[in-house]
Amino acid sequence: MSGPVATGLDRIASDERRLVRGKRVALLAHPASVDRHLRPAADVLAEAGARIVVLLGPEHGFAGEAQDMEGVRHRTTADAPRVFSLYGDSEASLHPTREMLDGVDMLVVDLQDIGTRYYTFAWTAAFCLEACAEAGMEALVLDRPDPLGCDRVEGPGIQPGYLSFVGLHDVPVRHGLTIGEVLRLYARERRLDLSLEVLAMAGYRRSMSFGDTGLPWVMTSPNMPTLDTALVYPGMCLIEGTDVSEGRGTTRPFEIVGAPWVDGRELARSALRSGLPGCTLRPLSFRPTFHKHAGRSCGGVQVHVTDARAFLPLRTGVALLQALWHTPGNRLSWRREPYEFVSDRPAIDLLAGGAWLRDGIESDAPLDDLCGWWARDERSFRERSEPALLYR
């Protein structure tokens, strides 16, 4: 491709500083960790002189095969590289152990993030930075674009007591940072004592959409197949905290939502009354092949983004939750099962970063009241994150 942006991985291939040459490397990556020619990160790093001794996989696994919240086993053999999962069957599995990093000189992180607090890849990388600080190991992050663009912040931070793996650090839902900037902020505010370098992209500007970069889109996880999915994700992931289907088991996850008891036309009318810029809601019927309501006909809507610059994904997700709460016949229920290794707080509270959303919907608060107070947190975060920014 001939687009204007070179990712950190693209730059490492011709890096005159020889950042990885001769290093024994642990690579944290996934299937979207490719250069602009779609070559895997491990191959690019090896050509740049690194010796890959360990491969680390975030949620969904290094190969990207596992579904949401599905534990992945290690795949180690006597030969290098050893492959370790950083998403298993317990909260402890999220942290790399000293044994995993044995014989490693440098951690290299190359993960395509989705610019949303709930998406766990950045937090897996943050735990790896903590392990590097403890071991006195250097860390190199190969930066990549925020697919949502870096010129918009949307949503509140996290209230005390609600940090979790879907929000390990106090950032807004849509944070407007690249993964390198998120990790710089994390290391700074957690006061990690480590040698951290972020290899910035060349040619990247904060106002760029992913389409502007000229880079290929590769699905980052099994239910993030397209850029359209990423655009709606900051709002539609909230549906995970309910008994309503978020479209898993269809070909348009997160764009499609519904349940057997939902009338899609009424849902669309109710949600759109609130005023939702940059999108339209199309009523439809669907039948998930797995996950919630598998094999059952569901009524619902598909979110079509008509103007990505104007679209407010989080406001749209909150409006849909309100409309679902008022759907006649069978109100939505909040998910009560354990969620991302937490069992003492509802999933919707972890996603929202507090009980404010659940309480507001249950008390019939107007949409503007639910969303209006975010501006305070958004302004505060812009100021806080300024020292971590790499692109102006």
pLDDT in tens, 85-127: 999 999 999 999 999 999 999 999 999 999 999 999 999 999 9
pLDDT in tens, 20-42: 999 999 999 999 999 999 999 99
CA atoms within 13 A on the CB side of 30: 26
Residue of higher predicted confidence among 10 and 1: 10
Single-letter residue type at 221: S
What's the pLDDT at 282?
A: 98
Q: Is the pLDDT of residue 146 over 80?
A: yes
Tell me the pLDDT band of 69, cut-offs 50, 70 and 90. Answer: low
Element (H, E) at 313: helix 313-325
Closest by CA to 294, choosing from 260, 317, 261, is 260
pLDDT in tens, 43-54: 999 999 999 999
What the block records as the tokens of 248 is: 């898993």
Beta-strand pair 24-29/256-259: unpaired
Q: Is the pLDDT of residue 228 over 60?
A: yes
Residue whose entry in the numeric block shows the structure tokens 């006061």: 191
Element (H, E) at 384: helix 374-385
Tell me the pLDDT band of 1, cut-offs 50, 70 and 90. Answer: very low
Closest by CA to 153, choosing from 321, 384, 319, 387, is 384
The three-class DSSP label of residue 98 is coil
Q: Which domains does the chain have, with CATH numbers?
A: 8-220+382-388 (3.40.50.12170), 227-354 (3.90.1150.140)
Arithmetic mean of pLDDT, 226-239: 97
Q: Is the pLDDT of residue 64 over 70?
A: no
